[in-house]
Structure 1
Amino acid sequence: MTTLESIVNGPTTDDAELWLIVAECFGVEVPTFQGEGPSCGHPALFIRLSRCNLTCAKCDTKYTWDWSQFDPRKESTRRSVADLVSWGTSSPVELVVITGGEPLIQQPRLVPLVRKLLAAGKRVEFETNGTIAPLPELIVEGVRFNVSPKLASFGVKEAKSLVPAALEAFAASERAAFKFVASTVADLDRIAELADAHRLAPVWVMPEGTTAEEITATTRVLADAVAARHWRFTTRLHVIAFADARGR
């Protein structure tokens, strides 16, 4: 099995030979939209990369990293940059979301992909856990980062999931929104501490839940407290619309 080190440090000189480890691509054959954050409701194409550097207990895409439950040979494939560009530009949809897993594990190989998508008139959003600072080549017009730092309540040790230098790099880029998953008002207190400590803005809060009923219930728990802090609120529209179906 290919190691993360070989992905990051492998040769990147010839775009025709560049490849990424991909879990799935969707939004061309069956249209969908971005379900979370600043672009919620916008038509979107998704390139979901495989592998993650965290092991969050409440992760809803464990098929990108949890090989105790999933077979990586079945759940991931190598796809070339050229192939991904061809796929993405086959649709008139403007927004391409690059997600994971943790996509920035593979970011040296993402630079040529992003450049070609931007040249084709696309805009790109990264969904990232915020533990890996973005390369300068990705901090460009047409690219945004939806940074989702993971709290202890998400089933991960914050000593691993919160990397101050990386968070501050995203904040300094002025191309990031900080989207926190929350289930309790206590989570909001922790988010406020992190936002103040690392100057994270704008802050978005997303209710935890993998069903429409859970999202509605958590929204009602959090709504007043989020509004009182003058933060932004996002739902999980794809869960409400498509019952969290994979590939939607």
Structure 2
Amino acid sequence: MSRSPVPSTPAREDTLPVQEIFGPVPQGEGPYTGRAAVFVRLGRCNLHCPPCDSKLTWDTSRYDLGATCPPRAAEDIVAAAVALGAGDHRLTVISGGEPLLWQRTRAWEMLLTALPGKIHVESNGTISPTGLTRQRVAHFSVSPKTGAMGAADPAKRRIVPSVLADFARLAEQGRAIFKFVAGDLPEVEEIAELVRAHGLPQGRVWVMPLGDSAESWETAGRAVVERVMEHGFHFSGRLHLALGVR
């Protein structure tokens, strides 16, 4: 796996805050597990999830986001991703933070227009995709925040029914999945209730155990896997933890 160098700061209208660009690595989660991918991790988020493994993108109480997520020109982001193999039979996964915060900017338009190959976006499910985003993004991995992941934000901020409905329609078209995190059985039940209440397609739901190491993930996984299966959901691994890669 390689990382791209950070260039000098360009004009802001053509930039996005970038925490890291890395790859190629196997996608570690969800239905595309094992697929070679280049990751573009953008800065800033509209939620504050305590167990988040990407706090460098949003936690202003601990980090200077200007330093951890410096602005990079869209053309430089594309060049860095291509240098790592984006478009060469590899996915490009735009993650965060919350990448859809930036989709009404010129830089986002330039990024989506210029990136080659299949583009995937990882989102917290609080912002609907625009027309251009729907057109260019092949797959959305939507992660509504429940349980410990949602503990720091009120439900009205992290669960937006109209947005979930938009993504549910994309899921029914095979273009999106819902990926939840559960650390114990009550959190699995909370997920099941949310799926039921918002009419999310059951066959497009993945549940991933909470854990930031292979050991903690396995412990949570053993605790929840049976109940996840009983609800008819899919069980998501975290391949990158098992392999010890990003």
Which category of TM-score, normalised to the shorter sequence, fits these structures? 0.7 to 0.9
Q: Which amino acid aligns with 2:126?
A: T
Query: Corresponding residue for 1:88?
Result: 81
Contact 2:35/2:90 (<8 A) preserved: no
In structure 2, what is the equivalent of residue 76 of structure 1? 69
> What is the letter of the counterpart of residue 78 of structure 1?
P
**Counterpart Cα distance in 1 of 2:92 and 2:104:** 18
Name the residue aligned to 1:140.
135
Which is worse superposed, 167-176 or 94-103? 167-176
Q: What letter is aligned with 1:223?
A: V
**Alignment equivalent of 2:166, drawn from 162, 169, 191:** 169
**d(CA) in 1 for partners of 2:80, 2:14:** 15
More divergent stretch after superposition (107-116 vs 49-58): 107-116
Aligned position for 1:106: 102
Counterpart for residue 4 of structure 1: none
Q: How many angstroms does 1:177 deviate by?
A: 0.2
Partner of 2:145: 150
Does structure 1 conserve the Cα–Cα contact (< 8 Å) formed by 2:208 and 2:235? yes
Deviation readout 1:101-131 (Å, 9 max, x if unpaired): 11111112323312222xx3x1111111001
Instruction: Provide, for residues 149-169 of structure 1, a one-character-per-residue CA deviation record: whole Å limited to 9, x for no partner.
Output: 001422233222111111111
Q: Secondary structure at the match of 1:96?
A: strand
Deviation at 1:17, TM superposition (A): 5.8
Distance 1:16 1:68 in 2: 24
| Runs of 4+ that moved beyond 6 A | none
Give RMSD over aligned pairs: 1.9
Aligned residues: 224
Unaligned runs of 5+ in 1: 1-14
Q: What is the letter of the counterpart of residue 40 of structure 2? A: I
Which whole-Å deviations, capped at 9, do the CAs of 1:186-231 have from their partners, x for residues lacking one?
1121111111222223110000000111111111111111111221
Question: Residues 43 and 98 of structure 2 are in contact (CA less than 8 Å); yes or no, is this contact kept in structure 1?
Answer: yes
Q: Measure the CA separation in 2 of the matches of 1:179 and 1:142.
A: 17
Which residue identity is paired with 2:30? G
Paired amino acid for 1:232: H
Of 224-233 and 207-216, the range deviating more from structure 2: 224-233
Q: 1:141 offset after TM fit, Å?
A: 6.2
* Conserved 8 A contact 2:147-2:190: no
Amino acid at match of 1:53: N
Task: Tell me the residue number matched to 2:213.
Answer: 211
State whether residues 149 and 161 of structure 1, in contact with CA within 8 Å, keep that contact through their aligned partners in structure 2.
yes
Q: Secondary structure of 1:108's partner?
A: coil
In the TM superposition, residue 16 of structure 1 has moved relative to its aligned partner by 11
1:116 corresponds to: 114
User: Whole-Å Cα distance in 2 between the matches of residues 194 and 37 of structure 1?
Assistant: 19
Q: Which residue of 2 aligns with 1:41?
A: 34
Question: Which 10-residue stretch deviates more, 53-62 or 137-146?
Answer: 137-146
Q: Distance in 1 between matches of 2:32 and 2:198?
A: 24
Residue of structure 2 equivalent to 1:229: 231
Helix, strand or coil for the counterpart of 2:242? helix
Q: Is 1:220 equivalent to 2:216 in the alignment?
A: no
Residue 196 of structure 1 corresponds to 196
> Which residue of the other structure, out of 14, 21, 24, is the alignment partner of 1:18?
14
SS in 2 for 1:140: helix
Q: Which of 109, 127, 130 is matched with 2:125 structurally?
A: 130
Identity %: 40
CA distance in 1, matches of 2:118, 2:13: 24
Q: Is the 8 A contact 1:152 1:158 kept in 2?
A: no
